[in-house]
Amino acid sequence: MSALPPPETCDFHGLPALRLTAPDGATALISHHGAQLLSWIPAGGAERLYLSESAVFDGRQAIRGGVPVIFPQFGGKGKLRHGFARELPWEVVAARTGKDYATATLRLTDGEATRALWPHVFVAEMTVLIAGNRLDMELEVENADDKPCAFTAALHTYLRVQEVENVALQGLQGLRYRDQTDRNKEDTDRQEALVVEDELDRLYLGVKKPLLLSHPGGGAIAMEQEGFPDTVVWNPWEKKCAALKDMPRDGFRRMLCVEAAAAARPVTLEPGDTWFGRQTLVAL
Protein backbone atom coordinates (compact mmCIF):
# COMPACT_ATOMS: atom_id res chain seq x y z
CA MET A 1 0.00 0.00 0.00
CA SER A 2 1.46 3.37 -1.00
CA ALA A 3 2.10 6.00 1.64
CA LEU A 4 -0.44 8.77 1.95
CA PRO A 5 0.82 12.22 0.89
CA PRO A 6 1.60 14.54 3.82
CA PRO A 7 -0.18 17.89 4.23
CA GLU A 8 1.11 20.48 1.78
CA THR A 9 2.84 23.73 2.74
CA CYS A 10 1.79 26.55 0.44
CA ASP A 11 1.66 30.31 0.03
CA PHE A 12 -1.72 32.03 0.46
CA HIS A 13 -1.80 35.73 -0.38
CA GLY A 14 1.83 35.98 0.69
CA LEU A 15 1.41 34.13 3.99
CA PRO A 16 2.63 30.58 4.71
CA ALA A 17 -0.22 28.12 5.05
CA LEU A 18 -0.88 24.41 5.39
CA ARG A 19 -3.31 22.62 3.08
CA LEU A 20 -4.92 19.46 4.45
CA THR A 21 -6.47 16.94 2.06
CA ALA A 22 -8.19 13.85 3.43
CA PRO A 23 -8.25 10.67 1.30
CA ASP A 24 -11.99 11.18 0.70
CA GLY A 25 -11.37 14.63 -0.82
CA ALA A 26 -12.21 16.89 2.13
CA THR A 27 -9.85 19.86 2.32
CA ALA A 28 -8.87 22.60 4.75
CA LEU A 29 -6.46 25.54 4.61
CA ILE A 30 -4.75 26.80 7.77
CA SER A 31 -2.69 29.99 7.88
CA HIS A 32 0.43 29.94 10.08
CA HIS A 33 -0.59 33.51 10.94
CA GLY A 34 -2.98 33.12 13.85
CA ALA A 35 -3.32 29.34 13.33
CA GLN A 36 -6.41 30.47 11.46
CA LEU A 37 -8.56 28.06 9.49
CA LEU A 38 -9.36 29.88 6.24
CA SER A 39 -11.19 27.21 4.24
CA TRP A 40 -13.11 24.00 4.85
CA ILE A 41 -14.61 22.02 1.99
CA PRO A 42 -16.24 18.73 3.08
CA ALA A 43 -15.84 15.67 0.87
CA GLY A 44 -17.92 16.15 -2.27
CA GLY A 45 -19.19 19.49 -1.03
CA ALA A 46 -18.67 23.23 -1.30
CA GLU A 47 -16.90 25.86 0.81
CA ARG A 48 -18.51 26.20 4.25
CA LEU A 49 -16.48 29.07 5.74
CA TYR A 50 -16.76 32.75 4.86
CA LEU A 51 -13.51 34.54 4.01
CA SER A 52 -13.88 38.22 3.22
CA GLU A 53 -12.97 39.25 -0.30
CA SER A 54 -11.42 42.36 1.30
CA ALA A 55 -9.43 40.52 3.99
CA VAL A 56 -5.94 41.87 4.68
CA PHE A 57 -3.00 39.45 4.58
CA ASP A 58 -0.19 41.62 5.92
CA GLY A 59 1.02 39.25 8.64
CA ARG A 60 0.27 41.79 11.34
CA GLN A 61 -3.47 42.13 11.75
CA ALA A 62 -6.19 39.52 12.05
CA ILE A 63 -7.61 38.02 8.86
CA ARG A 64 -11.32 38.72 8.38
CA GLY A 65 -13.13 35.41 8.06
CA GLY A 66 -12.45 31.72 8.52
CA VAL A 67 -11.95 30.84 12.17
CA PRO A 68 -9.83 33.39 14.08
CA VAL A 69 -8.48 32.06 17.40
CA ILE A 70 -9.45 34.44 20.21
CA PHE A 71 -7.06 34.26 23.20
CA PRO A 72 -6.40 35.34 25.96
CA GLN A 73 -9.27 37.87 25.93
CA PHE A 74 -12.63 37.79 24.23
CA GLY A 75 -14.05 41.23 23.49
CA GLY A 76 -13.09 44.17 25.65
CA LYS A 77 -11.25 47.31 24.66
CA GLY A 78 -7.64 48.37 24.41
CA LYS A 79 -4.57 46.38 23.39
CA LEU A 80 -6.09 43.03 24.36
CA ARG A 81 -9.37 43.32 22.44
CA HIS A 82 -9.94 39.78 21.13
CA GLY A 83 -6.43 38.89 22.33
CA PHE A 84 -3.17 38.57 20.47
CA ALA A 85 -3.24 34.94 19.29
CA ARG A 86 -4.92 35.79 15.97
CA GLU A 87 -2.23 38.36 15.13
CA LEU A 88 0.90 36.26 15.73
CA PRO A 89 2.70 33.51 13.79
CA TRP A 90 2.18 29.97 15.11
CA GLU A 91 4.50 27.00 14.61
CA VAL A 92 3.35 23.80 12.92
CA VAL A 93 4.27 21.00 15.34
CA ALA A 94 2.37 18.07 13.78
CA ALA A 95 0.69 17.35 10.44
CA ARG A 96 -0.35 14.00 9.01
CA THR A 97 -2.79 12.22 6.76
CA GLY A 98 -4.46 9.00 7.90
CA LYS A 99 -6.52 6.45 6.00
CA ASP A 100 -9.71 8.50 6.49
CA TYR A 101 -8.62 11.89 7.88
CA ALA A 102 -6.08 14.71 7.75
CA THR A 103 -4.96 16.75 10.76
CA ALA A 104 -2.51 19.41 11.88
CA THR A 105 -1.51 21.07 15.15
CA LEU A 106 -0.01 24.53 15.48
CA ARG A 107 1.57 25.99 18.64
CA LEU A 108 1.99 29.44 20.16
CA THR A 109 4.13 30.15 23.22
CA ASP A 110 4.70 33.31 25.22
CA GLY A 111 7.42 35.80 24.41
CA GLU A 112 8.49 39.26 25.43
CA ALA A 113 5.74 40.86 23.32
CA THR A 114 2.93 38.68 24.74
CA ARG A 115 4.12 39.05 28.35
CA ALA A 116 4.02 42.82 27.96
CA LEU A 117 0.29 42.46 27.24
CA TRP A 118 -0.55 39.43 29.38
CA PRO A 119 2.09 38.55 32.01
CA HIS A 120 1.94 34.76 31.87
CA VAL A 121 3.98 31.82 30.59
CA PHE A 122 1.77 29.59 28.44
CA VAL A 123 1.59 27.04 25.65
CA ALA A 124 -1.40 27.19 23.29
CA GLU A 125 -2.11 24.60 20.62
CA MET A 126 -4.71 24.68 17.87
CA THR A 127 -5.60 21.35 16.23
CA VAL A 128 -7.71 20.95 13.09
CA LEU A 129 -8.98 17.57 11.87
CA ILE A 130 -11.06 16.90 8.75
CA ALA A 131 -12.76 13.65 7.74
CA GLY A 132 -15.62 13.29 5.28
CA ASN A 133 -18.26 15.86 6.16
CA ARG A 134 -16.82 16.60 9.63
CA LEU A 135 -14.51 19.30 10.97
CA ASP A 136 -13.04 19.25 14.48
CA MET A 137 -11.22 22.26 15.92
CA GLU A 138 -9.61 22.18 19.35
CA LEU A 139 -7.84 24.91 21.29
CA GLU A 140 -5.70 23.73 24.20
CA VAL A 141 -4.01 26.04 26.71
CA GLU A 142 -1.39 25.03 29.29
CA ASN A 143 -0.41 27.29 32.17
CA ALA A 144 3.39 26.90 32.15
CA ASP A 145 3.81 29.65 34.74
CA ASP A 146 4.46 29.46 38.47
CA LYS A 147 1.30 31.44 39.23
CA PRO A 148 -2.37 31.06 38.28
CA CYS A 149 -3.66 32.63 35.08
CA ALA A 150 -7.13 33.57 33.89
CA PHE A 151 -8.31 34.07 30.31
CA THR A 152 -11.27 34.08 27.98
CA ALA A 153 -11.22 32.50 24.53
CA ALA A 154 -13.28 31.65 21.47
CA LEU A 155 -13.22 30.11 18.02
CA HIS A 156 -14.69 32.98 15.98
CA THR A 157 -16.24 30.78 13.29
CA TYR A 158 -17.50 32.59 10.17
CA LEU A 159 -20.02 30.34 8.40
CA ARG A 160 -20.77 30.94 4.74
CA VAL A 161 -24.46 31.30 3.87
CA GLN A 162 -26.28 32.14 0.65
CA GLU A 163 -28.43 34.85 2.23
CA VAL A 164 -28.29 35.51 5.98
CA GLU A 165 -31.92 36.64 6.17
CA ASN A 166 -33.01 33.16 5.06
CA VAL A 167 -31.06 31.11 7.61
CA ALA A 168 -32.44 29.64 10.82
CA LEU A 169 -30.35 28.66 13.84
CA GLN A 170 -31.98 26.07 16.09
CA GLY A 171 -30.95 24.84 19.53
CA LEU A 172 -30.87 28.10 21.51
CA GLN A 173 -34.48 28.21 22.64
CA GLY A 174 -34.82 28.60 26.42
CA LEU A 175 -31.24 29.83 26.93
CA ARG A 176 -30.24 33.07 28.61
CA TYR A 177 -28.20 35.48 26.55
CA ARG A 178 -26.53 38.87 26.84
CA ASP A 179 -27.42 41.26 24.06
CA GLN A 180 -24.18 43.03 23.29
CA THR A 181 -25.99 45.49 21.01
CA ASP A 182 -28.02 46.68 24.03
CA ARG A 183 -25.51 47.21 26.85
CA ASN A 184 -25.32 43.47 27.65
CA LYS A 185 -28.96 43.35 28.65
CA GLU A 186 -29.91 39.78 29.63
CA ASP A 187 -32.94 38.01 28.19
CA THR A 188 -34.18 34.52 27.37
CA ASP A 189 -34.45 33.24 23.80
CA ARG A 190 -38.04 32.08 23.39
CA GLN A 191 -37.97 31.42 19.65
CA GLU A 192 -37.84 27.95 18.15
CA ALA A 193 -35.26 29.24 15.68
CA LEU A 194 -33.12 32.37 15.63
CA VAL A 195 -33.41 34.40 12.43
CA VAL A 196 -31.25 37.37 11.44
CA GLU A 197 -33.16 40.55 10.61
CA ASP A 198 -30.81 43.23 11.95
CA GLU A 199 -27.47 43.61 13.69
CA LEU A 200 -26.97 40.63 15.97
CA ASP A 201 -24.43 40.17 18.78
CA ARG A 202 -25.56 37.74 21.45
CA LEU A 203 -23.59 35.82 24.05
CA TYR A 204 -25.58 32.69 24.92
CA LEU A 205 -24.81 31.15 28.32
CA GLY A 206 -24.56 27.46 29.17
CA VAL A 207 -24.91 26.00 25.68
CA LYS A 208 -24.91 22.21 26.04
CA LYS A 209 -27.04 20.95 23.14
CA PRO A 210 -26.08 20.74 19.46
CA LEU A 211 -27.07 23.60 17.16
CA LEU A 212 -28.37 23.38 13.61
CA LEU A 213 -27.95 26.11 11.01
CA SER A 214 -30.17 25.63 7.97
CA HIS A 215 -31.54 27.63 5.06
CA PRO A 216 -33.82 26.93 2.07
CA GLY A 217 -30.95 26.46 -0.38
CA GLY A 218 -29.62 23.49 1.58
CA GLY A 219 -26.16 23.16 3.03
CA ALA A 220 -27.15 22.79 6.69
CA ILE A 221 -24.47 22.58 9.36
CA ALA A 222 -24.78 20.83 12.71
CA MET A 223 -22.55 22.19 15.48
CA GLU A 224 -21.48 20.88 18.85
CA GLN A 225 -18.98 22.15 21.40
CA GLU A 226 -17.12 20.83 24.42
CA GLY A 227 -15.13 22.79 26.99
CA PHE A 228 -16.58 26.04 25.66
CA PRO A 229 -19.63 26.86 27.83
CA ASP A 230 -20.91 29.79 25.74
CA THR A 231 -21.89 30.54 22.15
CA VAL A 232 -21.68 33.91 20.42
CA VAL A 233 -23.91 34.60 17.42
CA TRP A 234 -22.82 37.67 15.44
CA ASN A 235 -23.67 39.51 12.26
CA PRO A 236 -22.68 43.18 11.86
CA TRP A 237 -25.55 43.98 9.47
CA GLU A 238 -25.48 46.80 6.95
CA LYS A 239 -24.24 49.86 8.86
CA LYS A 240 -21.43 48.24 10.83
CA CYS A 241 -20.35 46.11 7.89
CA ALA A 242 -19.94 49.24 5.78
CA ALA A 243 -17.57 50.61 8.43
CA LEU A 244 -15.31 47.54 8.26
CA LYS A 245 -12.49 48.22 5.82
CA ASP A 246 -11.74 44.50 5.41
CA MET A 247 -15.26 43.48 4.40
CA PRO A 248 -17.30 44.37 1.29
CA ARG A 249 -20.39 46.46 2.02
CA ASP A 250 -22.70 43.50 1.36
CA GLY A 251 -20.47 40.91 3.04
CA PHE A 252 -22.79 40.64 6.02
CA ARG A 253 -25.34 38.92 3.78
CA ARG A 254 -23.07 35.95 3.12
CA MET A 255 -21.92 35.14 6.66
CA LEU A 256 -23.03 34.33 10.16
CA CYS A 257 -20.62 33.84 13.03
CA VAL A 258 -21.52 31.02 15.43
CA GLU A 259 -18.64 31.02 17.90
CA ALA A 260 -17.78 28.47 20.57
CA ALA A 261 -16.60 30.59 23.49
CA ALA A 262 -15.51 30.78 27.10
CA ALA A 263 -16.46 34.41 27.50
CA ALA A 264 -18.99 35.00 30.28
CA ARG A 265 -16.57 33.83 32.97
CA PRO A 266 -12.78 33.56 32.69
CA VAL A 267 -11.11 30.17 32.70
CA THR A 268 -8.67 29.99 35.64
CA LEU A 269 -5.72 27.61 35.48
CA GLU A 270 -3.35 26.73 38.29
CA PRO A 271 0.35 26.26 37.44
CA GLY A 272 0.79 23.16 35.27
CA ASP A 273 -2.92 22.78 34.51
CA THR A 274 -4.37 22.45 31.01
CA TRP A 275 -7.73 23.45 29.51
CA PHE A 276 -9.23 22.64 26.15
CA GLY A 277 -12.24 23.76 24.13
CA ARG A 278 -13.53 22.01 21.01
CA GLN A 279 -16.01 22.89 18.26
CA THR A 280 -17.25 20.27 15.80
CA LEU A 281 -19.04 21.08 12.55
CA VAL A 282 -20.85 18.50 10.43
CA ALA A 283 -21.98 19.42 6.92
CA LEU A 284 -25.43 18.01 6.10
**Which residues are catalytic, by number?**
156, 259
- Pairing mode, if any, of strands 255-269 and 149-155? antiparallel
Among candidate residues 260, 242, 261, the one with its CA nearest the CA of residue 250: 242
Among candidate residues 174, 177, 136, the one with its CA nearest the CA of residue 28: 136
DSSP string, 199-235: -EEEEE-S--S-EEEE-TTS--EEEEEES--EEEEEE
Burial class (CB in 10 A: 0-12, 13-18, 19+), 102: buried
Phi and psi at residue 267, to the nearest 5°? -85, 130
Residue at 253: amino acid letter: R
Q: How many CA atoms lie within 13 A of 143 on its CB side?
A: 18
Burial class (CB in 10 A: 0-12, 13-18, 19+), 243: exposed
- 122 contacts 144 by C-beta, under 8 angstroms: yes
Chain centroid to CA 5: how far?
27
